[in-house]
Amino acid sequence: MIKKLIAALAVLAFAVSNAPASPASSGAVVIKIGSIAPSRSPWDKALEKVARDWERISNGTVQVRIFPGGIAGSELDMIRKMRLGVLQGGVFTSMGLSKIESSVTVLNIPLLFHSAEEFGVVFDKMKPAFEKKIEEKGFKVVLWTLAGWVNFFTKEPVIYPEDLKKLKISVTDSDPEIEQVWKKMGYQVVPGDFKDLMVQLQSGMVSAAYLPPLLAGSGQYFAVIPHMLSMTLAPLVAGLILSDKAWASIPADLHQPFIAAIDEASRGLFEEAQGLAADAVKMMKENGLIVHDAPPAALEKWRQAAAEGVKDLIGPRFSKEMYDQIVGYIQEFRKARGK
């Protein structure tokens, strides 16, 4: 009951604050940022530091309000609220970012990247192109980075793609194109909202999900889907986006100091998140999680399956030119390191 009361008060606080601030009464630019990151998570702590720094740098002429843990709604809700001016910013995963600019989907192709270092090198080269496309849609990218990796968690052991085809996979109901790709590849998928995942799992509607280990542990999902494939499926990208109107409302002479403050607050964020993810896996293993390694033959089959799925995304979600460019950067990276 106490948890429900706190949640209700948090939602009420957000609702009350939805009324735009009056410049005449406050004399300050108010930036309200929604976030799906849980309260007290590394991302939430970094955001709180950014809020304090921005207010200090601007001498209080810019005030930041953070609404963590999905108080401001889902990623799609936050995008709508930003377009309406109810929110001025939001923290999104690549799933939300792809709703602003579909080409971001290319970053989540399963098994495309083999390491954080590899992803970082390629991502740095591709950032300008992605940011230009996102800004053309009316948004300003102030930060985005690798936040972690996603794994399969299942009710039964999964080693080969054929094993996964026997299970029902939870997928987002906001992305019918991805749903159709799964189906075309022969997998059983059940669309739904992430907030309903536990109900889906407990009721038997689904028996598999792809999650970052930290979320699988903190949300106790592993208790229902206690098998994890150690092979990382795809990178999890997260970013802080403001509406272009919100960014324009901030005095231009503050833009560079604000970006510098964000860079400082986010330094080491990935490493901290990875450390927590490793701790989460250790905790889950101590409480019944079984981790399965994929032998080389299985890994090759997974890569073949992923390559098949990519064919249906080229064109509808991202251009062949962009995909080929990323693959080219990956090959350059591996060649330079003798891989």
Question: At what angle are helices 269-286 and 42-57 packed, to 10 degrees?
Answer: 160
Q: Considering only CA atoms, which of 84, 40, 98, 85 is closest in space to residue 66?
A: 40
**Rounded Cα distance, 170 and 156, in Å:** 15
Q: What is the DSSP string of 12-53?
A: HHHHHTTSPPPHHHH-SEEEEEEE-SPTTSHHHHHHHHHHHH
181 contact partners, CB below 8 Å, separation of at least 6:
309, 312, 313
Q: Give me the number of domains the chain comprises.
A: 1
| Token duo for residue 283 | 């905790």
pLDDT for 20 equals 43
For residue 209, list its beta bridge partners: 153
Name residue 218's amino acid: S
CA distance 335 to 339: 6
Question: The CATH number of the domain where 216 resides is what?
Answer: 3.40.190.170
Residue 70, φ and ψ in degrees, nearest 5: 80, 10
What is the C-alpha separation between 64 and 329, in angstroms, rounded?
A: 38
pLDDT at residue 42, as a whole number: 85
DSSP bridge partners of 238: 93, 145
Q: What is the pLDDT of residue 26?
A: 54
Q: Please give the residue range of the domain that contains residue 140.
A: 2-336
Say which residue the tokens 């064919």 belong to.
311
For residue 330, which of 104, 98, 106 has the smallest C-alpha distance? 106
The total number of residues written for the chain in this structure = 339
Q: What is the DSSP-derived secondary structure letter of residue 293?
A: P
d(Cα 114, Cα 246) in Å, to the nearest integer?
37
Taking 50 as the pLDDT cut, the residues of the chain under it are 1-25
In 212-320, which ranges are E strands?
227-229, 234-243, 290-292
